[in-house]
Amino acid sequence: MIDWLQHTTGGLLTLAALSIAVLLLLIIKFKVEPFISLLVVGLLVALASGLPTETLVGSAQKASDSLLEKGFGGILGHIAAIIGLGTLLGAILEASGGAQVLTEKLLRAFGEKRAPLAMGLAGLIFGVPVFFDIGIFVLAPLVYVAAKQSGKSIVLYSMPLLAGLSVMHAFMPPHPGPVAAAGLLKVSLGWIIIMGLAVAIPAWLVGGVLYSSWIGKKIVVPVPEEMLEAAEKARVDASTNGREAPPLGLVLAIIGLPLVLILSGTFGSILLPKGSALLGVTTFFGTPAVALTIAVLLAFWLLGFRRGMTRDQIAELSGASLRPVAMILLVVGAGGFFGAVLSATGVGKALATELSDLGLPVIALSYVISCVIRIAQGSATVAIVTTAGIVAPVLADLNYSQPQLALVVMAIASGSIIASHVNDGGFWIVSRYFGLSVKETLQTWTVLETILSVVGFIVAGLLSLVM
């Protein structure tokens, strides 16, 4: 039996399926932290496949050569700085009042009749640097006020906002999911940005504009009075902090700067002659960690110190914003180890052989696996890192281009947001902040996420046909 698991295609594929089943069992049934679950399953798969101990954990003299350290270190060396800097950038934009400025300007520009579209655009733009739940926390009070003033359902205003925040969190750097998948599949973040926008915008138009405008008229939910009171209190607190709101142009410039720099590095590597001084400049400033460092330092100076924040306040803000990142990085690191084990066992080659025989594209397999893991255990990050770990060894032998790899990342990210339901923390955040019952949340938010997922995958699949 052990020999069959280790040396046959069927055995290796069975081992991969069992590893996913055990992983889900640990997370769902026994409530083990995903970080620990991924680590345990990776070790079990390595032992069951017969990998030598020295390959797995190294020796006293060469521990750094082990799969354990290479798996963790390889991915974290790529993404830790990017996720940390992105988190800091989002925190200073939030604390400075940038989100409120952006949303209020959009609401005034679009007027009352198009206020839902304005909320959606606010989510789309502010969702670039800010985590999904933070975006809700900051922008929800503006949704309450807009819905109250119009006398219409809060669903009409909240769903476009949620769609914008969700697609940015799923498809765009510096958010953990796409950054982690890019690291595991070795894709340039410049191509992730290009394909992320190509996938996110159509998904947002279908889900955040068309579906949201329809469901907002079907399900009428008034704004609870306690939410309006909380929004008013937040507005008063913001107006009495002694700081002037930043100009909209500055907010947009700081959000867009790292994206422009990263894209300049990507296009520079394609268009500029090798060895040229200009290529060296664009490569340096287009490196994601460098681009985000520049944006963070400018944000600290222009939105922080120049607008009355003290060094102590900046330090406190930075520390508080980085605390939640630790568990994300541990999960991603454990996912990197799990993927390294699958690659070393030969599961990837077995899967590639089977896919070739079946004629199933890797992009479709990636989406299906990500969907199954997401629906089963709720976490988008776990769905992404687990799926990327499974398909990474398959892609290693297929000679995919950077755009093609980026589209596989988009398929994985699409699957990771499908059918948000009661096992997903985001489901309860949406329900709580917008006063929706469980049934109403399923009818609105769960369907919205599924639409974003399906449209995102369809766009990624169509693009893969021409790349």
Give the torsion sign (CA, 32, 37, 39, 43): positive
How do residues 29-47 score in pLDDT, each as one tens digit?
A: 999 999 999 999 999 999 8
Contacts with 192 (C-beta within 8 Å, 6 or more apart), sequence order: 172, 173, 178, 179, 182, 406, 409
195 with 417: CB under 8 angstroms?
no
Share of the chain above pLDDT 90, in %: 69
Residue 273 has φ and ψ, to the nearest 5°, of -65, 140
Q: Whole-angstrom Cα distance, residue 245 to residue 162?
A: 24
Q: What is the pLDDT of residue 240?
A: 45
Q: Whole-angstrom Cα distance, residue 462 to residue 358?
A: 20
87 with 325: CB under 8 angstroms?
yes
Mean pLDDT of the residues in the chain: 90
79 with 179: CB under 8 angstroms?
yes
pLDDT at residue 11 tops 90 = no
How do residues 160-192 score in pLDDT, each as one tens digit?
A: 999 999 999 999 999 999 999 999 999 999 999
How do residues 193-239 score in pLDDT, each as one tens digit?
A: 999 999 999 999 999 999 999 999 999 999 877 776 666 655 555 55
